[in-house]
Amino acid sequence: MLDHILSILIFFPAIAGVFGFMIQKDSVRAYGVAVATIEFALSLWLWFSFDSNVSGMQFMEQLPLVPAFGINYILGVDGISLFIIILAAFFTMIGIASLTETKDVKNMIISLLFLQMTMVGVFAALDAIVFYIFWELSLVPMLYIIGAWGGPLRIYASVKFFLYTFAGSLVMLVGMLFMAYFYFQATGVWSFAILEWYRLILPENFQLWLFAAFFVGFAIKVPMFPFHTWLPYAHGQAPTIGSVILAAILLKMGTYAFIRFSLPMFPDASAFFMFPIAILAIIMIVYTAMVAYAQEDVKQVVAYSSVSHMGVIILGTFALNVEGISGSIFLMIAHGVVSGALFLLVGVIYDRRHTKMMNQFGGLASVMPRYATIFGLMLMASVGMPLTINFVGEFLSLLGFYKQSHVLTILAGTAIIVGAIYMLAAYKKMFFGTVTIEENKNLPDVNKRELLALVPLAIITVWLGVYPNPVLAPINKSVESIVQLMHDKSITEEAKSRIPNLVHGIEITRTTVEEAH
């Protein structure tokens, strides 16, 4: 079973989703929770059987799809994708478990299960076409979730989300086809296997063009400034569960793809574009933090804060050294946990008051103390308090980039200031002061079902902040091999000097490549 665990992880929720149509409406919630729990247990099993001492891909599966064009169904995980898969399974589980009463709950749960299939598929795929298929398929359930259960502007928001990201992905697809063509020209065989592509050393000008093509697709997904405007609409209109999954997992596809595709395939282009991208990332950090500060709707604050944090992740990724990339991957998980929790928390108050405008609140700390405490914890995690999960990622990302540029890191470091400004301002508006509005006086505190979702997140937030090693060590192992690969592959002087050479890493790289066969 362990040989096919990734396929099981991908298709089990989808098959269960199909069977879900046959389940009675009353029991579909229990069914959904059961399926998601089994899936999560499987993902944990994956983690326990994962060998942290191996830097390459594990649990690989291969099945020819279109052999003539080298399109194969290849799956595998390494330290980079492992934890995002677990996170996806975890969030689907608590998302379904904490689902509030909605219309058509059956369709919602089935959509979520399909969404889970696509999410796991994206992170497990090692073939560009399979990756692309899951990448695009993930749009469909999310389109449906936003469009069917969203707010008043849901149609506009969902169409914008779909078309915007879809347009970007098409450019990425063109890039993939060109990459496969170059591979064909170089070797005489067609292949879409990512690990095969890693071995291809391209001339610098080819790299630049391909990097740009991939960049469009990834940057819109992340979303990077100035391609971010679909996100506030999507978050603003999506139901709570949609926002949670979107922020926690779907956004990570973009940053994950940067590490899976752009860095190892185009090391010279990555070094070439490092500074422009870093500047974009800094604009993202500071600009969206300021925009977040101006918001009146608390959900929009969290939405814009997501963009701001994604800026730090991008910065860490393009630090091109082990510290920075490990930090950015860790921050992906951290940001998933924290922003997911924040969206859940916003959902809690929205369920009670049916508004998200901050001027409708005030003084909630005395009415809902437990809610205020958990919100406070997540707020502190979001502003990067040490011993919470976010700090580890932010610290490592910025530390890594500091090697590349002092001034830009100082500018990016303002993230810790501007982040504190909008978060504290929002917290103050919602929780501090006296209760002025009559409806707020008797709001019930968080109930058991909500605690079921929030408490595990709070525990993870502190646990991985205090002891990040179980996650950081496997990440580190895989990142080392990627950095070494990049260093070995790079051809320009610039890239050679920017990407460190890890002395002990050469052998690791070889095994990675050989495992691909």
Which residues contact another protein (rule: CB under 8 A)? Answer: 160, 163-164, 225-230, 287, 290-291, 293-295, 321-323, 326-327, 363, 365-366, 369-370, 373, 380, 383, 385-387, 391-392, 395-396, 398-399, 402-403, 406, 409-410, 413-414, 416-417, 420-421, 424-425, 428, 431-434, 466-469, 472-473, 475-476, 479-480
CB closer to another protein out of 275 and 467: 467
Closest contact distance (angstroms) between CB of 382 and another protein is 13
How far apart, in whole angstroms, are the C-alpha atoms of residue 98 and residue 449?
6
CB closer to another protein out of 129 and 143: 143
How far apart, in whole angstroms, are the C-alpha atoms of residue 243 and residue 228?
15
CB closer to another protein out of 120 and 483: 483
> Are the C-beta atoms of 341 and 457 separated by less than 8 Å?
yes
Closest contact distance (angstroms) between CB of 234 and another protein is 13
Closest contact distance (angstroms) between CB of 226 and another protein is 5
What is the distance between the terminal CA atoms of the chain, rounded to a whole angstrom? Answer: 22
How far apart, in whole angstroms, are the C-alpha atoms of residue 60 and residue 121?
13
Closest contact distance (angstroms) between CB of 387 and another protein is 6
Closest contact distance (angstroms) between CB of 137 and another protein is 23
Closest contact distance (angstroms) between CB of 429 and another protein is 10
**If we measure between CA atoms, which residue out of 133, 132, 134, 142 comes closest to residue 163?**
142
| φ/ψ of residue 446, rounded to 5 | -55, 135
**If we measure between CA atoms, which residue out of 289, 288, 293, 158 comes closest to residue 233?**
158
Closest contact distance (angstroms) between CB of 212 and another protein is 18
Q: Which two tokens stand for residue 12?
A: 């089990």
CB closer to another protein out of 104 and 296: 296
HEC-encoded secondary structure of 455-511: HHHHHHHHHHHHCCHHHHHHHHHHHHHHHHHHHHHCCCHHHHHHCCCCHHHHHHHHH
> Are the C-beta atoms of 210 and 217 separated by less than 8 Å?
no
